[in-house]
Amino acid sequence: MNDVVSLRPLAVSDAPEMANVLSSPRLYVFTGGEPPDEAELRRRYAVQTRGCSTDGSQRWLNLIVALEPGGQAIGYVQATIPQSSGPTEIAWVIGELWQGRGYARTAAELLADELRRMGVVDVVAHIHPEHVASQRVATHLAMSPTGVVVDGETRWEGSLSCADKQ
């Protein structure tokens, strides 16, 4: 992989480009739903860019995964950080055209690094039992599956203090 992946803060203005990145119906095989259009993403991003829930109980970190040089959006990573106790929920999505090149792994590592800087230690992710690529990303972050299943997805847990830094 010669290209470098970076993360940048999500902006409402990312909606047109991200509508294209997220346009493949195959991205939703494991999670359900369908590709969002630009208008839907603008609505979502207007909320997500606030950075926190309306009641203040959660802080949100929403970042675009960009391919350098040039900064082309290829996906996103996100974290929901509880203001009280409890683990931080993380997720990653790479557009279909860019899958299979290690970008999700790199983006998840960059997210983990940012969370460590913020003092986050414990993380969770919910991954469909047949989504092998996401399971590999979680394993790389030193996360392990639990016996907990929520909406058909297995809860994975880990500590960023133990994450593999290969």
CA angle 33, 52, 122 (to 5 degrees): 80
How many angstroms separate the CA atoms of 77 and 88, rounded?
Answer: 13
Give me the DSSP letters along 14-48.
GHHHHHHHT--GGGGTTT-S----HHHHHHHHHHH
Q: Which helix or strand (DSSP H or E) is residue 81 part of?
A: strand 72-82
The pLDDT mean for the chain works out to 94
DSSP, collapsed to helix, strand or coil, labels residue 131 as coil
Residue 164: pLDDT band (50, 70, 90) is very low
Q: How many domains does the chain have?
A: 1
Phi and psi at residue 75, to the nearest 5°: 170, -160
Residue 149: pLDDT band by 50, 70, 90 thresholds? Answer: very high
Instruction: For residue 60, list its beta bridge partners.
Output: 80
Pairing relationship of beta strands 4-9 and 58-68 according to DSSP bridges: antiparallel
Task: Say if 165 falls within a structural domain.
Answer: no
Q: Could you tell me if residue 164 is inside a domain?
A: no
Residue whose structure tokens are 């346009």: 23
Look at residue 16 in the predicted model and tell me its pLDDT.
98
Chain segment 80-124, per-residue pLDDT in tens: 999 988 999 999 999 999 999 999 999 999 999 999 999 999 999
Instruction: Give a yes or no: residue 14 inside a domain.
Output: yes
pLDDT band at 2, cuts 50/70/90?
low
Q: Which of 114, 65, 60, 115 is nearest to 92 (CA)?
A: 65
Element (H, E) at 139: helix 132-140
Please enumerate in sequence order all residues whose Cβ is within 8 A of that of 7, keeping only pairs 6 or more positions apart, or say none. Answer: 63, 64, 65, 66, 77, 107, 110, 111, 114
- Whether 49 is covered by a domain: the verdict is yes
| CATH of residue 58 | 3.40.630.30
28 occurs within a structural domain:
yes
What is the domain extent for residue 121?
4-159
Q: Tokens 């830094």 belong to which residue?
A: 165
Where residue 1 falls among pLDDT bands split at 50, 70, 90?
very low
On whether residue 166 sits in a domain, the answer given is no
